[in-house]
Chains A and B, each alone.
Chain A
Amino acid sequence: MSKTETPSTEQHRDDDQTADDAPTGPAVATTGDADGAAFSGEDLVIGYPTAEDPVVDEESLVAAPGQVTALVGPNGSGKSTLLKGMADELSPDSGSVRLDGRPVESFDSKGLARRLGLLSQENVAPESITVEKLVEHGRYPYRGFFGGLTDDDLAAIDRAIDLAGVDHIRDREVGSLSGGQKQLVWIAMVLAQETDVLLLDEPTTFLDMHHQLEVMEVVETLRSESDKTVVVILHDLQQAARLADHMLALKDGSVHSRGPPEDVITEETLADVFGIEATVTQSDLGPRITPLRPLHDDTGADVHL
């Protein structure tokens, strides 16, 4: 697999270092060098117009530059809502999301799409579009209204296809692919955007084991070979523990605990946040979880401990 760094992201990084005062948020263990873009949300209150109470209530998320931050939590804990707020899809009722110190809403839409990529949980594409054409759409924010594809665009498309490992199917129609292959193609499309920050909403859910590992491998490659800042929602705690540098466990719209995986994945958190009794052992690939049984409401998670 070829190296993914590009002149254009290099350029961004230089700008960033000279031009701004990147905020360092609370409670983040910034290890390693400070490559990549600082991306953070502070005191976010996010809700939907149709509901009275906010789904996410005054929470902060700091994605360490160049690292993988995983959001975990049970259904309805506000992970996706937090991600939508971070991606400027939902405007927070209060609080602010900043990319390199600059509020995301101050970017124009294409400008933001050049810095911040988002892979939604569900994606639809016409059946007859080819893989290559779909990935080509990732270059949308770089093209003018009349603009064709430049050499830079073509190179970025090739790199993204290469990195997502979909080169062997690049001429196939998307409709003919399996769910796992489709997901890799969508990842390739987001990679072609060549953003500094990448938000992935449950990229492995509904995939078979092989493709789950394929997706994980892509993210791991991103972490080791590029300086992208990645925020990923994962349903599978084991995967999250293995992949993330930093984790946030959400419950009822609040962050229950945050930190490196070994600090977040504890028997106590599993009981509190996920309502399960489990044993946690440490292994080479991070904490290893053995789920035992669900904790029921009448016993009460807290009481049980």
Chain B
Amino acid sequence: MGETVSSDTGREAGESARLAWIDRSLLTLCLGSLAIAVVAGLVQVSFGSYSMSVAEAWRAVVDTTVLLDPRWLLNFLLGEQLMRSVLGFQGELPDLPTTTLIVWNIRLPRVFVAMIVGMNLAVSGAIFQAVTRNELASPFILGVSSGAGLLILLTLVVFPMLASALPVIAAAGGMGAFALVYLIAWKGGTSPVRLVLAGVIVGTVFQSLQTGLFFFADDIGVVQSAIAWTTGSLTGTNWEQVRTALPWTVVAMGLALVGSRQLNVLLLGERTASSLGMNVERMRFALSAVGVLAAAASIAVAGIVGFVGLIVPHVVRNVVGSGYKRLVVGCLFAGPALLVAADVGARLAIPVLVGGSGQLPVGIVTGLVGGPYFLYLMRKQDQLGEI
């Protein structure tokens, strides 16, 4: 008798449990992040070298000649050629007012790239924190940033003729370094500690090589370009970057969501995970590969933006707990919020503070925000590091 009662309540719980993981804290976080991203995005589109009033800029964002015209939307998202072959449309695109053209062509895509980069880095960081079972892990813990950085410098300094392929080369460098780290760490299997150590080894060597290459750069332009790439910058990004990163982002985010239960089991430790029947080694590699894919997608369009992948999962975990389904969903919203907001700072800091016309790499702003946040955490929490 007792059994039938308990299994009935279990069944009811199961039906409501399908959506029960979306609770108030997660909803608050997502809506709050969305609000931040929208506000920061609106600030971002309001300023630029072409002068228009704030009201004009915001009107251009919601201009129905773009929003309600699939030709324009697909033109941005897929590129003109693909749009024409998808829609079979051969004529001229309808004219847009200059303000709309500038906001949609130049200012908005930068906000979208920031969102894409933010979610990639945040989710990637969350994955690596579970894989290494260390709350202080970032997307770059397994050598990804040093590999990308080295190839960026090599390309800019030694093979400048390949500069147009820099996004692909940087992403490939990150993935290559990750593969090397795994190879070094492998000895009949790996462990989180071995992986992190191998990451340090590869990172140290590549970092030195990368710094050494700076001495061979013969003009300041190359150095600035290299710094922009290695600290992460969204300056000059447009729809091209959105189109580059979006497909990989969709794949990586989808896989991260699907893999969230595996990440949860991995958090219980290797022994428990394997006694539950998980092939830990295979799963760890697969999940790391998803994290590296996300990191590489963001590197390809923005360079190496630091701290986002470290802070965002941390903030989200403090709000929604360590369940990975909620954590990944939270990161999908909080990552974009942080990066869009930081990019406002990167874009407006110099004009507002010193009155010049330059822009900072966004990675500098995320670092300036990230450091103090960790100081605050360190003061507030006794235990930092354990998930």
Residue numbers of A with Cβ under 8 A of B are 2-3, 49, 87, 89, 109-114, 117-118, 120, 123-129, 133, 137-138, 140-141, 143, 145-146, 148-149, 151, 154-155, 157-159, 162, 193
Contact = CB atoms under 8 A, between A and B. Distances in A.
B267 A138 contact: no
Nearest to B276: A140
Given A123-B272, A129-B264, A129-B322, 10 more contacts: A2-B6, A113-B277, A120-B271, A125-B267, A128-B321, A137-B276, A140-B277, A148-B18, A149-B17, A154-B13
Interface in B5-59: 6-7, 9-11, 13-14, 17-18
Contacts of A148: 18
B258 interface: yes
A124 B269 CA distance: 7
A205 B151 CA distance: 53
A85 to B, nearest CB: 14
Given A125-B268, A137-B264, A145-B258, A154 B10 contact: yes
Given A133-B323, A151-B7, A49 B277 contact: no
Given A123-B269, A129-B322, A129-B323, A158 B275 contact: no
A137 B279 CA distance: 15
Contacts of A155: 6-7, 10
B325 to A, nearest CB: 11
B277 A141 contact: yes
Nearest to A142: B277
* Those 7 A-B pairs whose CB atoms lie nearest each other, nearest first: A113-B277, A141-B277, A110-B277, A126-B322, A128-B321, A154-B10, A118-B275
A109 B279 contact: yes
Interface of chain B, main secondary structure: helix
Interface string B256-274: 0010011011011101101
B372 interface: no
A305 B319 CA distance: 64
B14 A154 contact: yes
A117 B6 contact: no
A87 B272 CA distance: 12
Contacts of A158: 6-7, 9-10
30 contacts: A2-B2, A2-B3, A2-B6, A109-B274, A109-B279, A110-B277, A111-B277, A112-B277, A117-B275, A120-B269, A120-B271, A123-B269, A123-B272, A124-B269, A125-B267, A126-B267, A128-B323, A129-B321, A129-B322, A137-B264, A138-B276, A140-B278, A145-B258, A148-B18, A151-B10, A154-B13, A155-B7, A158-B9, A158-B10, A162-B6
Nearest to A199: B275
A117 B271 CA distance: 12
Interface in B312-343: 321-323
Contacts of A137: 264-265, 268, 276
A146 B255 CA distance: 11
Nearest to A146: B258
A109 B277 contact: yes
A123 B269 CA distance: 8
A89 B18 CA distance: 34
Contact of B265 (A111, A112, A140): A140
Nearest to A121: B271
Nearest to A113: B277
A124 B274 contact: no
A87 B14 contact: no
Contacts of A127: 322
A90 B291 CA distance: 30
Given A110-B277, A137-B265, A126 B387 contact: yes
Contacts of A157: 10
Contacts of A126: 267, 321-322, 387
B24 to A, nearest CB: 15
Nearest to B12: A154
Nearest to A127: B322
A147 B17 CA distance: 14
Nearest to A125: B268
Nearest to B383: A127
Contacts of B271: 89, 118, 120
Among B3, B10, B269, B276, the one with the most A-chain Cβ atoms within 10 Å of its Cβ is: B276
Nearest to B273: A140
B356 interface: no
Contacts of A151: 7, 10-11, 14
A159 B7 CA distance: 8
Contacts of B261: 143
A124 B192 CA distance: 15
Contact of A120 (B17, B18, B272): B272
B188 interface: yes
Contacts of B269: 120, 123-124
A118 B9 CA distance: 29
A123 B10 CA distance: 26
B304 to A, nearest CB: 29
Contact of B275 (A2, A87, A129, A133): A87
A187 to B, nearest CB: 13
B111 to A, nearest CB: 33
B11 A154 contact: yes
Contacts of B6: 2, 155, 158-159, 162
A114 B387 CA distance: 28
Contacts of B7: 151, 154-155, 158
